Structure 1
Amino acid sequence: MLVLAERPTNKQALEGSLIEILHGISGADPATITANARLIEDIGIDSLGFYEILIEANTRFGIRIPEETLLQFRTVGDIQVHLESLEIRPPNAENA
């Protein structure tokens, strides 16, 4: 019997894209990049890393996160909730 894996939801695809971005910037183990992980203390994002997040959000999602908004984020979940509120669709997400 063949079992097909479920297609990722938009939320899962967004989370995957965010993990890729943060891993690329910080080099942190993707398994440690969870919603509760703190950007500075746990992931190792520094001040330059915050600007890299701005650039990647613009490149991948076509959005601009205001600098003052980004600097208020403390956890990975903070960024994800913000992106979800904008109804961002990662470029590789399939429409369900």
Structure 2
Amino acid sequence: MNTVQEEVRSGLADIVNEIVGVPLDEVRPEQSFADDLDVDSLSMVEVVVAAEERFGLTIPDQAAAGMKTVGDAIGYIVANR
């Protein structure tokens, strides 16, 4: 993982920790938001909104719906910053 990807992963870990209480070191690219991190649909909306604010971008609903894993979110954010 390069520096930009790690910065985004770290930021997402902070967001997930704040919203659902998952320890920072458990938020890894291969983790599924729903299955591994227990992020339900309402919490996922909060994650997306917080990520938009933190990383200064807009994440369309269709793109957000495709973010099943932390890695999916990292890839989208890195590609669209």
TM-score category (smaller protein): 0.7 to 0.9
User: Is the contact between residue 25 and residue 49 of structure 1 (CA under 8 Å) also seen in structure 2?
Assistant: yes
Tell me which amino acid in the other structure corresponds to 2:38. G
The unaligned stretches of length 5 or more in structure 2 are: none
Give the match for residue 18 of structure 2. 24
Give the match for residue 67 of structure 2. 73
* C-alpha RMSD of matched pairs (Å): 1.6
The unaligned stretches of length 5 or more in structure 1 are: 1-7, 89-96
Structure 1 residue ranges, 4+ long, deviating more than 4 angstroms after superposition: none
Counterpart among 32, 42, 47 of residue 48 in structure 1: 42
The two structures have a TM-score, normalised by structure 1, of 0.74
The two structures have a TM-score, normalised by structure 2, of 0.86
CA distance in 1, matches of 2:15, 2:49: 10
